[in-house]
Each structure stands twice: as structure tokens, then as C-alpha cells.
Structure 1
């Protein structure tokens, strides 16, 4: 008998996962696996999308004693007939195919919905032991069951009759505990989710029956966000009055259409905002989907509030001499509820925790600024109280910055001549970019916000300092300039936080090209910080900026449909963007993709949008979770006497590296 060979990599080694098997193999790629709350939310969101588009006014949720969940709405009901191309009942497609739904195609039956990632309730089915669907539509009641994910155990059957105007969908599912850290749905979070849905859709009746706790609750908010925020602020000290508003943008030339950056006529937001004596966390949503990590819609709200209040203070000469308002002065004690309504949504991951669509900053800020300015003008007493609070916060910030600057200026070191400094000395706000190359540094110098962003261009590659003695570090000019610019001396891991007392910048950001040389420079700088400035890393001051790899463009398609241009930070984002444009009607050959060779070939506007603007850039914090293991790996990779071990490691692990050539 032939001996079976292990670790053989040939054609038979490649697996092709069909249907929903990828979800069961790696569920964390598609949903949160702490508990089944997110797969429950997927079903609820489908019901809410019916209400959001005017087809339902009632949603009922039941948490059963056996851990299963029922979600019912009086919407249109999922179609049960055969799909014209697949010849499979549409309700079966929706629950068994990752990329099946009615929300992809431009001009689809849903004007706006929670997201277009194409998984949704099929993931709920994949991670459940059983799922039952009952649909009422076209005068009939239809049922279908699924077992252990996508295996259909019954055909779609008509089991009864209903009135010709009766419609809706009822889904009950039993989450499979083996896919989750805990099989229990957090009852408090589910209750908060349902309550927020009622708040976001005034007139929608949401009922929650919790059989585990023996409670029955119903929410119906006629006054929407305002009533909800007032409940949250019941015990808080309010400054001025609560500001509520909503706004939508018009199409190009006043028409209904799409702009080149992805904005669509009708995009906008609804909000309720209040200033309090102490900060209370706000809540934001996109198409009724909660975004706990915020995103560009929150950045747009912040920008609109700041610009209006700044203009109001300047118009009324309220600012003391030498005091300039910053966005964080206005935002620091804001409590808000924000509901953005956007067609072309891009989220960070399938769980949609953070909105990343860059154009939304402009959209939301534009619809917030003018209404807030009018609100301030109409309520002078409330406006005065809010302005005084904001000016007080700005004055405190400047006072703190002056104290820090005085302490730092007592040293004898002269700042490097190639350092382009910023105006702000408050380290809770300012940033230092360590930029690869003079050409990239020149572009960033033009593109930066000189108020709080400083630049230090690096010529050539930094010295490998892993085995360099501390007293010989400054023989290297680049290391010397970095230390002097930061105003922090080299130190060891045993040093206290007092070594950072003179720190001049709160964020130290490594900015290099997205290629092999750029990765090498990143590694050399991380080696320097981990070995000789470890407190900088431990206290969360070091970051890596990720420049875009691709620019995706498509030509104009006529009046009201201008050309499109998108920057993509990763290959996955590139593919997702191309897919979205194809779904919007572009042919694949119409979409052009160009690869950035480096930061030096990007113009200032591109640099601002992709690596400098805090609202649209991708910034990765550098953290150390295991000091011993980190030290071992850096010794292996950077130690001069580890060539043999390094070669053995590369022979064993080199095929796992992601090489970008």
C-alpha cells in the first residue's frame, strides 16, 4: 500500500467552500461571535428596512425561553415564487446564498437600507440549528424550514389563506451555541437595540416580549430623536437648549442625481444635540444600523456644529484675545443622537460598526451647519450659554498647552531644521508625521493642517538600532532628529512615565510608502521605538498611517451622473468598490484601476483625503500585548547574530508572508 504523504501541496489541497460553509468555517469574518446578538440584529434589520421604506408600521420580537428568537413584521412579505434565473424560490435564496438580496441593484425596491454587504440573514441561517420562515402575501400563508444552516428540510408550502391586503414576514431561529463564546443573547442590549429602532422611526410600533424575564414592552415615539435624547438627559445638567434638526442634499443642478464622490440626492441626516456640564456618550446610526465606533457621519456632525458656532462667536465678537476655537472644544461635552440616511454606504467590516464613506463628512456637515446657525440666531440666550461653555473649554486647552510649552522650551536642544512644526502645543491634539523621503514630505507639507500637524521628513533608511548602545544612538542623524523633535530622551523599559514629561506631540505617526521599502522603514522605526523609546509605545503615542494602494475611476454616464473617483486602502476595498460600481450599472471594462507607486506621486488633495484627514484616513495604533514574545521576535528579525535562526525561520515560515512586489 502506498504511504500517504503529509503536508503535500498540490491540486487536491485546494478546498472550495460552497453555500454557507464559509460562514460556519470562519464565523468571525461575517458576524460578531461573542454572542448571537448580531445574527438577531440581521433579522430585525430586514423588518426595519420594510418600515424605513414605508411598507410596515409594526415590528414584534419575542425572546423565547428555549433561547430562540421570533421577529415578525407587517411589511410586504419576502417573495416566495421562483427566481427568474436561478429557478429557486426567492425566500430560499435569501436564506441560503451569501450574495442574494433586493438591495444591490441601483434603483432597487429599497430606497435606503442598512447595508449592501450581501450576507445578512443568510449568516443567521448558517449559524442556527433551525430556522423557520412564514410569509403572508398575495392572499396566502407560506412556510419553509431550514436545518443546520442552509439545508432545506421542507419545500415552500402554502399552508393557509389570508386577506388580500394582509402581508408580512415571521422568522424564528435557534442560534447554534457552538459558534459563539456565549450562546445567550444579552437581553439588555437587545432591548436597547429595539428601543432605538422605534426612536429612529417615529410612528413605528416596536414590541418586545421577553419570556426569560417575563416582561412585555412597547415603544412608539411620535417625537423621535428629541424624545429619546430627553430621556437620556433626564438626570444631566443641560447647558442652553436641545438642538434638533434634519436635512437632505439636493441633486446636481437641483436635480435628483449622484455626485462624483458617491453622494446621492436625498442623502442627509436627522439629529438631536445637547451640551451638558459633563460628557455623555452619543449614539449614531446609518440607515437605522447602530455604529458604535462612529465614523464619517459623526465627523460631519462635529464639523457642522463647530463651523456654525465658530462663525457665531466671531460674528458677535465673543472670543477673548488670543483664543481660537477648535472642533474638540465644541465637541467635548456634546451628547447627541445622529441618524444618517445614505444610499452608498461603505462600512468597516460586515458588522457595520463604523461608517467609512468619505463623502458623508461633507454631506452631513453641509446639512447641519446652516440650520444650527439659524437656531443659534433665533435663541440668543441658549446660544450665549453654549458659546460661553465652549470658550471656557478652549481657554482651558490653551492654558494647558502654554504650561507644557514652557516646560519644553527650558531645554537646550535646538529643533531640527527640516522639522515643519505646527501651531498647537497641546499634545492631546497635535501630531508628528515621520515621512519617508523629501518628495513625499513636500507634498504632505502643502496638504497638512498646519494648526496641529507637524512633519519630519526622513532621508534614507533609519539605522537598525536593536543592538546599538544608547550612548551611540545620536551618531545617526535621523535618530538624533527624531529624539530632539519629540523632546524625549532614549530610555529603557524600566523607565517611568516621567520620561515623557517633555513630549511635544501626542501622536507620532509613521508614514511610508505601501511597498516593501516602506514596510522596511516601518520596521526600522518600530525597532527604534520599542528598543529605545518603549514608554512612547506603552502609552499609546505611536501609530502607522496606511496610504491607499489603488485609485478606482469610472467615466461620466451623462447629465447628473458625473465621473467617479475612489481611493482604496486595501485590495478588499478595491474589489468591493469595483463590485459596487458594477452593481450601479458600470461595465467592468469601464472601471479603471491605477496603483499608487508611492506617496511622492500623490498630489496634496489626495494626501489630505487618504493619510492626513483624521476623518478619512486609516491609522493603526501600535500596541504590545506580550512584551517577552515581542522582544523575542524582534531579536530574531533584527539581531545581527541571529542570521542562522533567521534563515531557518524564513525557510519554515516564509511562505506565509504577504509579499507586495
Structure 2
């Protein structure tokens, strides 16, 4: 009764106003998406870097500053551009007053990325230390902050430094727990900036990034040349650039950008490209090909410049703008007119390329028709199985759900955390199922070792019940647009059998759904190998070195348990390993890796090269213990 009375006692004292810093720190997901520990490309620590970099890029796009210097030393990030520099009298305001900036005036920044006056303020508020220095016309001014609070505002001083702005920050480890930077993600982010701004030079820890040919260089880097069916088609126009080819992979691999921003979730411009490409190809060949056959195995990139772009969230991963500019053409018509003219002209001038495209489409058509019969039967079986699917313990929120109007930002943040754990056996799946978050975490249980599908055709996906159920659980049969979980986590035992199952699942994805790995959705779950404890403390260890350090710390012969499998970890213990203390190892495909060569080396018949590698690198447990000591 007392609680009811208290709840009813709703008055002015219950209404609170947070300042900009408090609101960002209370609701960081609204500003930078999910927090994360750095194991995913869209984790917050990379968004902080991107927010600062976006300002540098906007300066470059306006014609000021041709290079950007970045250093990362331990957890200290320093970014220096050579643009105009923040006006000295506004250095503090620009990084600490919400909705303060130059980008509300389109005359100062045409078609920029950062429009909301939020970016650097979020970096400031979410950094344990933040320092900004503006260099402008022979003078410099510096301001220092801690978690968004100004600690020191320096006086203006003379300088011989070039004009520009330098930002130094250390992400707050009370917000981003146990975080670490993966250079592969930073590397990819910086290359994207260069592809979209030909001639821009970025240096990162003394490594130089520069692109002369824009999106053409991007596709060359993403796909080995010997995998392409024909030379890349590269088309440029006012406010639009397109590069396109076909390879031998399944699915579609389309990279889309707006005003220099990589829109990982696509949006109106990417959908416009998909539709316009199909229409242009149909019109050119005067045949009503299936859209799926035309886009099968496509690898493409599209970049557009848009005035006042509307994104679906502050992190700008999906474009919502319907028009290219206020009162201008619709995005659909803009892209369609460009492709119908430029791509059509290109194909008329290059009949060899046109013929290669035609052959690729007809090959996809044949493959689809060959699969149609077995696909229908397999899907009917999958529907029946889904009614009582014991393999999948689903969650309530999915990555492909339409966000509600109410609490939209919180819902989108939960979508980013949607995860499916792929496990082997009932004991492992049982522990995860009992410990998981039922809102955002699902479990798919395999029965024993899956089939090694290297070298097999997609027919096996429908003939093999487990593969068919897995593709239905992920909803990736027709591409990644309907992907139900943002994170696909392989959770197997840390023994020889577990490692083998892990390889077999990755082979399945690489063979038939490579975009799932290329787009950074696949991870390996790391779970502790040892538990070392005494009456006062319990320490979980992930390798021999951690075990020895824990034994030394606890002293006096603590109790040590070796976990042989996931099923040996109780649900109560397991909860922390898939929530607050979850360690994920991303499956990263190195740029230029040839997928078929990789699969042949690791999953093909016992090649002499693989045998030699195993013999040359074989180490026994005693060797490992000696290394630790």
C-alpha cells in the first residue's frame, strides 16, 4: 500500500532537467549507439573517433586541409587536422555546448556529415580526459576537460603551427568497460574516408592512407582481382559515384555512403541503387530478368552527396532522406537517371563487359531454377520444424524489427545487441539458455558436428536439415536485409572437437553467406578455461598465463577447476560470461583474402602445405608452460 501511495504522489519534484553532459552520460546509446568493448566495428570507442574525424573530413570537403594525422598510443587518441581551425573565441563552446556549431548554416558547410551539433560534445562527455587546441592565424587556444567538465581554459598564445584543430581524448573506462582498440577496424574506417575523398592523406601511427581513384580503389581492395567476372565499372557524376562488378560469391555485397559517412545499414540511397541497377540492366538487355538473378554475386559501392541528410539515428548508419536536396529530385529518381544514362552508355561502349554481365545473370538464373524444387520442399519442412523448433530458443527483439515510435532510440540500441549463440549439444545450450537475456539473446543448438560444405553447391543448404534451419533462424536466405540478429556468436567448447565445429560453421558462412562475415556479424565466444578460488575470491582465467597469475595472487594452494566444456559451467556462473564480462573475438576477413583459397587450405583435403604448417608449428603442452614461465 505504501508503494502505491508513493507512486501516486507525482508532483513537480519528480521532474528533473539534466544538463547536456549528464544526459549524454546517462543515455550514451542515443548519441553513439552501443557501448561495447571494441570487439565490434560499431562499438562506441570507434564512434568517438569517427565523430572527431567527421569534422576533419567536413573541413577537407570545404577545401581546407589535405591531410589528417592520427595517433593511438595505448588508449590515448590524438587527431589533428589542417583545416581552418575552430574560431578561438568559441573553442570551449563548440565542444561543450549542445547544439552549438557551424553546420546549421549551410553556407559554411555544404553537404556535411555532422549536422546536429552533438558529435564532439559526446566525445567530450564520454572521455575521462579531453583536450582541444585550435590553431588559427598565428594564435592557439587550448581547453581541457574531464568527463565533459571544463578543468582548464588556457589563454591565447602565439604559435607557428599551421591552421587547424587538434583533439586528444581518452575514452572513459567507467563507461566503456575493459575496452581495447582493434587496428583492423580503424584501418577499414580510415580507408573508407580516403576512398570517398580522393587525394586526402591520412596518417595513422605513421602508416599512410591515400586513394587516387575513389570507389574503384575500394572495390579493388575489398575483392581480389582474380575473383571478379569483369573489370570494375566506375562511374562518376555530380554528387554521385558508383563502382560495380560481379564475383563468384553468393548474395549481394553493396557498400553505401552519404557525405563521406559509411551507412552500414543502407537506407534510401542503397535501395534506390538496387532498384535502379535492376531496371537499367533489364532495359539494356530488353529482358525481364528476375531481380535476384541480376543482383546475385554483385559487388558494388555507391556514394552520394546530400544537402541536409536525414539519418535514422545520431550514429548515422542508415539514411532516411527521400530527396537529394530540399525541393530537389527524389533519391530514387536521382539514382535512376544517373544509371540509366551512364551505365547504359558504358555497356554500349563495352560489349565484352555487357556479355560478361549477361552470362553471370544467366548462370544465376540456371542455379535458381535447379534449386527451386528442392528449395520448396526444404522450406516446407523448415516451416513445420519451426512450429516446434527445439533447436532455436528465440528472443523477443530482433535486428530486423521495425522500431516503434515510442522509445525508438532505446529499441534501436537493443537491436544492436541482438545475439544468437550457435552451440553444440544440449548441455552447452542448456547453460546459455538459462543464463541469457531473453529480450535480446537467442540460442541455436546444433546436433553434433555439421557437414564440411567446402566445395559444395548451395543445394546442400536445403538438403541438410541443420543448415536449412540455421539459415531460416538467421533469415538470410535472400540476403542480409532481413538478418534477425546483429551478432552471430559461435559458442563451442575450447577443445579439439569444439575448434573443429567452429571451423565447420565458419566454412558454412564463408561458402554460402560471406557477407555475414564481411559485414562484421560473426564472433567467437571466449569462455574461461580455469576457475581459481579461495574462500575470499574467485578468479576466472582464459589461458595458462592468467591461471598462474591468479594462483600466485591467491596463494596458499587455491582450488583450481579446469572447465572441459561449456556445459560444465553452471548457469549462474555463465550469466556473467554472456553479459557484463562477455568476451567476443570477431571473425575478421583480411582485405584481399581469397575466400576459396582460404577454405581450400584449411578445409580441403589434406594439402601438403597444411601438413607442413602443422609439423613446423606443433607445440606440446610442456612447451607452452615453459613459455609462460
Q: Secondary structure at the match of 1:241?
A: coil
Distance 2:204 2:312 in 1: 29
Sort the Cα spacing of 1:305 and 1:536 in 2 relative to 1 into closer, same or farther, 3 A.
Answer: farther
Return the offset for 1:224.
1.9
Is residue 169 of structure 1 aligned with residue 54 of structure 2? no
**Are 1:55 and 2:26 matched, yes or no?**
no
Give the aligned partner of residue 295 of structure 1: 267
Instruction: State the SS of the aligned residue for 1:143.
Output: strand
1:497 alignment partner, one of 382, 389, 397: 382
Q: Give the CA deviation at 1:174.
A: 1.1
Of 15, 35, 42, the match for 1:33: 35
User: Is the Cα–Cα contact under 8 Å of residues 242 and 273 in structure 1 kept in the other structure?
Assistant: yes
| Cross-structure match for 2:125 | 126
Decide whether the 8 Å contact of 2:71 with 2:204 is kept in 1: yes
1:70 Cα deviation after fit: 0.4
- Kindly indicate whether residue 219 of structure 2 is the aligned counterpart of residue 229 of structure 1: yes
1:387-413 deviation line (CA, Å, top 9, x unaligned): 1111221343345446667x69xxxxx
Name the SS of the counterpart of 1:178 in structure 2.
Answer: coil
Match of 2:237 in 1: 247
Match of 1:179 among 172, 175, 179: 175
* Distance in 1 between residues matched to 2:337 and 2:393, nearest whole Å: 38
Match of 2:320 among 342, 348, 356: 356
Matches within 5 A, 1:138-287: 138-149=137-148, 151-162=149-160, 166-209=162-205, 216-234=206-224, 236-248=226-238, 268-279=239-250, 281-287=253-259
Match of 2:351 among 380, 387, 390: 380
Q: Does 1:391 align with 2:276?
A: no
Displacement after TM superposition at 1:303 (Å): 1.9
What displacement does 1:175 show?
A: 0.8
> Residues 266-310 of structure 1: CA distance to partner in whole angstroms, max 9, x if unpaired?
xx3212111112247332221111111122221122222211111
Say if 1:182 and 1:28 are closer, same or farther in 2 by CA, change over 3 A: farther
Give deviations 1:83-102, integer Å, cap 9, x for gaps: xxxxxxx2222211232221
Give the Å deviation of 1:104: 2.1
2:10 corresponds in structure 1 to: 9
Structure 1 residue 73, shift from structure 2 partner: 0.6
1:378-434 per-position Cα deviation (integer Å, ceiling 9, x unaligned): 1101110111111221343345446667x69xxxxxxxxxxxxxxxxxx8xxxxxxx
Q: In 1, distance between residues paired with 2:485 and 2:168?
A: 43
Distance 1:41 1:97 in 2: 19
For residues 30 and 369 of structure 2, the distance between their equivalents in structure 1, rounded to whole angstroms, comes to: 44
Structure-1 separation of matches of 2:218 and 2:137: 37
Q: 1:620 and 1:69, CA in 2 relative to 1: closer, same or farther beyond 3 A?
A: closer
Shift of the 9–346 alpha-carbon distance from structure 1 to 2, 3 Å rule, reads same
Residue 347 of structure 1 and its aligned partner are, at CA, apart by 1.5
TM value normalised by structure 2: 0.57
In 1, the alpha carbon distance for the partners of 2:24 and 2:399 equals 32
The number of aligned residues is 395
CA distance in 2: counterparts of 1:620 and 1:221, whole angstroms: 32
Q: Confirm or deny: 8 A CA contact 2:312 2:318 kept in the other structure.
A: yes
Structure 1: gaps of 5 or more residues: 82-89, 210-215, 249-267, 409-426, 428-487, 489-495, 501-528, 548-568, 575-617, 626-661
Q: Secondary structure at the match of 2:253?
A: coil
User: How far apart are residue 186 of structure 1 and its match?
Assistant: 2.3
Contact 1:57/1:203, CA 8 A, preserved across alignment: yes
Encode CA deviations 1:624-653: one digit per residue, 9 max, x unaligned. Answer: x9xxxxxxxxxxxxxxxxxxxxxxxxxxxx
1:78 corresponds to 2:49: no
- Distance in 2 separating the partners of 1:544 and 1:160: 54
Distance change in 2, residues 1:285/1:181 (3 Å): farther
- Counterpart for residue 23 of structure 1: 24
Give the distance between the partners of 2:405 and 2:67, measured in 1 at CA.
Answer: 41
Contact 1:135 1:170 in 2 (8 A): yes
How far apart in 1 are the matches of 2:400 and 2:315? Answer: 24
Task: Name the CA shift for 1:396/1:358 in 2 (closer, same or farther; >3 Å).
Answer: farther
SS of residue paired to 2:229: strand
Aligned to 2:278: 306
The SS at the match of 2:170 is strand
Structure 1 position 345 matched with structure 2 position 345: no
Distance across 2 between alignment mates of 1:144 and 1:538: 49
Distance in 2 separating the partners of 1:39 and 1:241: 37
- Summarize the alignment of residues 532-611 of structure 1 with structure 2, pairs less than 5 Å apart: 570=405
CA distance in 1, matches of 2:137, 2:104: 25
Question: How has the CA–CA distance of structure 1 residues 218 and 157 changed in structure 2, closer, same or farther, with 3 Å as cutoff?
Answer: same
1:554 aligns with none
Q: 1:217 to 1:123 in 2, by over 3 A?
A: same
- SS at 1:351 equivalent: coil
Does structure 1 conserve the Cα–Cα contact (< 8 Å) formed by 2:88 and 2:140? no
Task: Give the Å deviation of 1:47.
Answer: 0.6
What's the secondary structure of 2:64's corresponding residue? coil
Structure 1: how far apart are the matches of 2:177 and 2:349?
A: 53
- Cα distance between partner residues in 1 of 2:132 and 2:123: 12
Q: What are structure 2's unaligned runs of at least 5 residues?
A: 39-44, 324-330, 410-480, 489-629
CA contact (8 A) 1:240 1:383 kept: no
Quote the Cα distance in structure 2 between the aligned partners of 1:619 and 1:237.
Answer: 26
Output the CA distance in 2 between the equivalents of 1:539 and 1:570. Answer: 21
CA–CA distance in 2 between the matches of 1:180 and 1:392? Answer: 48
Moved more, 8-17 or 54-63: 8-17
RMSD between aligned alpha carbons? 3.5
Query: Take 2:344 and 2:289, find their aligned partners in 1: how far apart are those partners?
Result: 16
Q: 1: distance between equivalents of 2:373 and 2:170?
A: 60
Cα distance between partner residues in 2 of 1:498 and 1:358: 36
